[in-house]
Structure 1
């Protein structure tokens, strides 16, 4: 908001600085007499017209605007006439009055046009800011909605699995409870931030994988690999969960060890996340499952968060389904988001 006020102040300062410069040149360079009445006419006409421009013309009250515009034309030259009559004593005839009046009309027209230009620029700035605020509000609302579409079936299945562990007094029950607690804490509280450290997002994925592993008694079915510095890299929260979730949804009911492969690589300011899973016999449409998050919503969220900075490539054959997400200029965008948060 302070930035907007500075810009609006600047568009007022520039024309007046130009007017003062012109008056100075006329007096010092061209050796013409200093006429303060011209400056008084300018001040009156400029701000009187800007007021009626904002109050009436912007609200499409054309008749009221026209009447006040005529009033400004009639009263604008008064400072010129007052100086001519009472200060200089040069107006003694009706023709002299008309002569001074006609000379000052040109000044009135100039400052009305200048005021109109400033009013138009102000409208453009204010309308642009309002549009940006509405778009930002719409984006935030849509992101909240998309984040809320985490599949609830996973939570129900996890609770049932933990119930079984507790009932059988399995030693894995306490760790499973801690994993679920950590996962829920991240989803409910930490995911409200605009960005989180990539390492925190990876911890969330690992909690999810550990809870999914309760369904399988064999060796871990997910091969999870991370390369690069994840501590300094920041991403939007819950960025990968839908892609990981789909690897389980569309895999066979029985999985071999390390048959699901997840790889997250950070190199300079580029992040590449790859999710690969074997294809089950009855997977349906892998890109859009009824009741699921669907890749359409994943792509929509990416477009909101990383416009022109991401690519999501889908590769599918008879045996393997692969989704590769690539985000560029990640560190630059993180710095910009932090700056925006500090500014707001």
Structure 2
């Protein structure tokens, strides 16, 4: 992790900015306060301003302004700025042992404290809005670029679908009618291709179709495994009636089958669970794996990296992805917020 990433992760740039403000404020105003409490009064002013800025930027703007509750945002903003300003004036009077300071010249003190705070906090909010807008535009550009690249790659690799399905139909009728397993497998393979060629052209798709696609893929994978491999898929009855990005979940399942263990005397398994709880779609995939010292390649790789990137672009701040990689199992848990 580079220094810039550390600064951003732990908000050290914020801390540095407030320290610079504290130093500048104290340097230019220390002569206005008692010598022994000047630094404390300056710290009070900086902390008071910081609290108003952070409450506005990280609570009021996301929860009220971005949800178009403009009147409530304006009223709450004025109440917070006014309340913190008066609290700061009161504490300042206590520190200076001038208890009448809070009441004397009320109009002048209101003008000297509340009005500047409204302007300063509004300036901080304006920077927040500009930064959020810039991030949103950058994200839209990245999504458009990735979508264009995906469509181009799809066109490059696409086989004429009519020829492909006609060929599959021909093979289907060549298979002996008694061989129901082979016929059923070919139909499942045909459904997989049809889903990828036709159903995945839109930005979102019904969860029922995505689940059916995953189940067909898993059934095909099971044909490659013997009785020493256990595959279990559980889909909750409530997993229906919403849409997600197509082909979002398949890399997790592919990764599980790619890295499943091959023990002869231990349990080899792939466990897939899907549920819907409290407005979220919960998707977990867990597989047994070779111990770290025996595995020839690490689990994950390009597939999981790509799906992480898609989640960041398509579901910003609307998902939690947890990956648990230990010596015996590999587990991925995705929590996708639907609202």
Give me the TM-score of the superposition, normalised by structure 1. 0.48
Greater relative contact order (CA < 8 Å, ≥ 6 in sequence): 1
Give me the TM-score of the superposition, normalised by structure 2. 0.48
